[in-house]
Amino acid sequence: MLNRSAYRLDDLIFPLFVYESENVYKQSLMSGHMNKSKVCPKNLESLLDHLTNLGISQILLFGVPKKRNETGDSSFAKHGVIQNSIRKIRENFGYSFRIFSDVCLCQYNTSGHCGILTKKVNKYAFKRNLYRNAEIDNDRTLESLGRISLSLCDSGTDFIAPSAMMDGQVLYLRKLLNTNGFEHVKILSYSAKHNSCLYSPFRANNYLESGFIDKSSYQCSFYNKRESLREMLIDIKEGSDWVMIKPSLWYMDIIRQARELVNVPIVVQNVSGEYALLRSTMNPDSVSGPRVDDNRIGENKLNLVNGVFGLNQRKIESISRERSQLKKPNNLKKPMMDNDFLDASARLSINAKSSPTASGENRFYNPDPILNFIRLLKRAGADKIITYFLLDMLDENSMGKRTI
């Protein structure tokens, strides 16, 4: 059974992608990435029932719309995919869930950028890579982020989570919410969102085009830790209730330093690339692969050399004979190990403690990458963790199968 002493469910947040189009939803399932976090509106209630049964009470909502335009107007539609989802959750589950709602334009516009472009780009821009060096209109983007935030607050969200990394976004949104009577709605700011290739599986699933998009002009650089820490301190000063560092595992040094400077909850997000990498380590075939006989490898090499360079059989036999003479002799003395200094009873005691138990567990080593992943982030100083692994850890069908 899963050892839950390394974390609390209150410390984990489940990211949930709601697809407005069922066809797009089914196509995204073919990728195999983050599938447990994907849902279409008609299946939303059954998934939330499952989350409730598992004790999950915090969710972060992302929307994938049917239609997109250059300015991402569907992101603040009154009956947008996330707005309708929040209302549906409140109607059926009340306040059983704490709802965090992403505030960004990248999934709703045609460029894949987190803001509105300064220049209009035609539909052939992707093939000519014109979006790579595109400039973002910061002020126009703030206005759109404000409209998104108000629509989410009207729907009943608990937190807004601005992830666009626009300058002054927290101050602008905090004043806007307070002016419109939403002082109780808190802000989880993506303060240190780093420009990274680890978002690739997410972008391939949820963007209109999955090609390379350079966001270095407004996202943090992993070369500059001081910038990341400064962004967090600025957001707190502007009114952010929680701050986020993203991605997670590759930025634990920043998490550790932020823990010493910041006195608000620090959230880290396990992103899609990290999820894909760690999931691959849980499949033994993807790591070890099939075992191959060394002798068979040698024979194949000789056959390849013979075919390419036309070596005759006598030459091949000569190479094989020389190769056999290089084998290690069997009469070499075995090097002394630490156990050789111990008596027989002590060696038996050590072997008994370090050997796997009947259930396949090891008392001193936990091979589960998911649990170790959570522990590392907690030790670094993360208060809350947004993770795709939450269902992998808690799913009732896998609880008895995994060795923890």
Vertex 12: Cα angle to 229 and 282 (nearest 5): 100
| 333 labelled catalytic | no
| Alpha helix positions (H), 102-189 | 138-155, 169-179
Burial 176-202 (b: 16+ CB within 10 A, else e): bbeeeebeebbbbbbbbbbbbebbbbb
- Give 207's DSSP letter: S
Strand partners, 17: 38, 62
Catalytic residue among 38, 186, 215, 246: 246
232 membership: H or E segment, kind and range: helix 225-238
The residues, ordered by sequence, that sit 6+ positions from 6 with a Cβ below 8 Å of its Cβ are 371, 374, 375, 378
Which of 157, 136, 183, 173 is CA-nearest to residue 62? 157
Catalytic residue among 38, 193, 215, 384: 193
- What is the secondary structure of 167-178 as a DSSP string? TTHHHHHHHHHH
Report in angstroms the alpha-carbon separations of 59 from 47, 99, 193, 385.
12, 5, 19, 11
- Helices (H) then strands (E): counts for the chain: 16, 11
| 315 labelled catalytic | no
CA 52 from centroid of its chain's CA atoms = 22
- Give the pair of three-digit tokens for residue 114: 């987190």
Q: Are residues 261 and 228 in contact, defined by beta-carbon separation less than 8 angstroms?
A: no
Q: Are residues 129 and 147 in contact, defined by beta-carbon separation less than 8 angstroms?
A: no
The residues, ordered by sequence, that sit 6+ positions from 268 with a Cβ below 8 Å of its Cβ are 244, 245, 246, 248, 251, 255, 377, 382, 384, 385, 386
Catalytic annotation, residues: 193, 246
